[in-house]
Structure 1
Amino acid sequence: MSANITTIGFDADDTLWQNEQFFRMSERHFAELLAPHADTTDLSSRLLEVEKRNLDLYGFGIKGFTLSLIETAVEITNGQVPSSVLAEILAAGREMLRHPVETLPHVQQTLERLNEDYRLVLITKGDLFDQERKLAQSGLGEFFDAVEIVSNKDTTTYERIFQRHGDGPARSMMIGNSLKSDVVPAIEAGSWGVFVPHELTWVLEHVEAPLTAQRFRQIEHLGELVPLLEEIG
């Protein structure tokens, strides 16, 4: 075990299992549904604006996304969207909530290697029921000493969680695919922040990498985490 790091936090969506690809598939289906009823050339930007507007109301997750799809459909058709299209959107949202969990490469082996030497904490944001469902279906719950499902991830979040479940931020590390939510605020809290890029990270999670931060690291996949910890230690 590293001489300094005792606690490791892991993001869930697109760090431990696939997530964003299902949102993209639903968005493509949404465009197909609306094509006969409205000009969809700027559909993605219109949807993104609605999602931004609704984050404070609905939070992150499939249910809020589904409501934003419905709101966008109403707006872009000037209220003329057929009820059959709304029914299809709702069905797509339910399908997303039922979709089997697909864990990413190297996840199980890495958690198995680490959970004997470190306190592992799952730190994820989104809908409570959906995140609990995905964790249960993933079979990864046994590796975590604690699970925190939060409404947002900021500096205060990491300070609180790493004090509660570890030895404070200075002796903790956060792993995730979002620079904005997983890496930058964890580093600002005093932790290590490890960026694991995912090709489909949501545009609202994009910020510049903190390349000059001493506690910032980037790896290509979770299989590189154990060697990184050995190097840091």
Structure 2
Amino acid sequence: MYKNIKVIAFDADDTLWVNETYFREAEHLFAKLLANYETENKIDQELFKKEIENLQYYGYGIKGFVLSMVESALEISNYQIPQQKIAKILNIGKEMLEKPIELLPDIEHVLEFLQRNYKLIVATKGDLLDQERKLEKSGLLKYFHHIEVMSDKKPKDYLKLIQHLDIYPEELLMIGNSLKSDILPLVEVGAMAIHVPFHTTWVHEEVTEEEKSTTHYKTVLNIKEVLTLF
């Protein structure tokens, strides 16, 4: 099935290391700061709407998330929120940026094995500085030939990556946790994809049952199971 593969691309957040868990923790802290103004459920909804609205300006990542929290706090409080709470929101973001890198189980074993026969790259989206910092702290840089931090992960973005790599679509395999970002766009452009689910998924990355129904990708229970496919 993968006999034509030359390059294997890995998503970073929640594929190589834990990420989304920290966003859920931050959302909870944010809701506690605004508990005098709204319920946690309503605060979560308003923050999510603001994040989606701001993607066109800030893209993906912690910095855009923090700016969305500040904007949401101002609007939810009718611009009455104390300055000290704005400072606490900024600190939530800084603490997220300083989190230690928690590698997912068996990821280094898998990279070491695949590196013997394939060119490995990282294809991730988010803030460039933050993703470079995480890769450096992870100790995984030695396994990767190329790092691509993408502004988005739509089919056209992957086609640009494939052109840059100077390969055919069928020679690329993508491994990631998000069906919306890491799997379905690859299927659309004729590349291969393996879905490794993570227990927490951002609402924006969820897909419908109809979208999931394509059979042109493989789902495994964990990253180590990938090795059984080669």
- Within-5 A mapping of 1:71-220: 71-165=71-165, 167-208=167-208, 209-213=211-215, 215-220=216-221
Aligned to 1:15: 15
Aligned length: 227
Contact kept? 1:7, 1:162, Cα under 8 Å: no
Q: TM-score, normalised by structure 1?
A: 0.94
Q: Which residue of 1 aligns with 2:225?
A: 224
What secondary structure sits across from 1:201 in the alignment?
Answer: coil
Residue 43 of structure 2 corresponds to residue 43 of structure 1: yes
CA-CA distance at 1:73 after TM superposition: 0.5
Local SS of the residue matching 1:25: helix
- Name the residue aligned to 1:67: 67
Instruction: In structure 2, give the amino acid aligned to 1:127.
Output: D
| Mapped partners of 1:212, 1:68: distance in 2 | 34
Which deviates more, 157-166 or 42-51?
157-166
Letter in 2 for 1:152: D
CA distance in 2, matches of 1:26, 1:63: 13
Shift of 1:166: 5.3
Q: Which amino acid aligns with 1:28?
A: H
Report the AA paired with residue 23 of structure 1: F
Residue aligned with 1:193, SS? strand
Q: What letter matches 1:39 in structure 2? A: E
**Aligned amino acid, residue 163 of structure 2:** Q
DSSP-derived class of the 1:198 partner = coil
| Contact 1:110–1:223 (8 Å) recurs in 2 | yes
Question: Per-residue displacement from partner, 1:143-191 (whole Å, max 9, x unpaired)?
Answer: 0111000100111221221232252211111111111110000111111
Q: TM-score, normalised by structure 2?
A: 0.95
Structure 2 stretches of 5 or more lacking a match? none
Matched AA of 1:217: K
The answer on whether the counterparts of 1:120 and 1:144 sit within 8 Å (CA) in structure 2 is yes
The answer (yes or no) to whether the contact 1:158–1:169 under 8 Å persists in 2 is no
CA distance in 2, matches of 1:4, 1:61: 34
Distance (Å, rounded) in 2 between the aligned partners of 1:99 and 1:62: 12
Q: Deviations 1:3-31 (Å, cap 9, x if unpaired)?
A: 21111110000010000111111111111
State whether residues 210 and 216 of structure 1, in contact with CA within 8 Å, keep that contact through their aligned partners in structure 2. no
- Provide the C-alpha distance between the structure 1 equivalents of 2:47 and 2:193, rounded to a whole number of angstroms: 31
Return the alpha-carbon distance in structure 2 between the equivalents of residues 120 and 66 of structure 1.
Answer: 32
In the aligned structure 1, how far is the partner of 2:174 from the partner of 2:166? 12
SS of the residue 1:3 aligns to? coil
- What residue ranges of structure 1 are gaps of 5+ in the alignment? none
1:32 correspondence with 2:32: yes
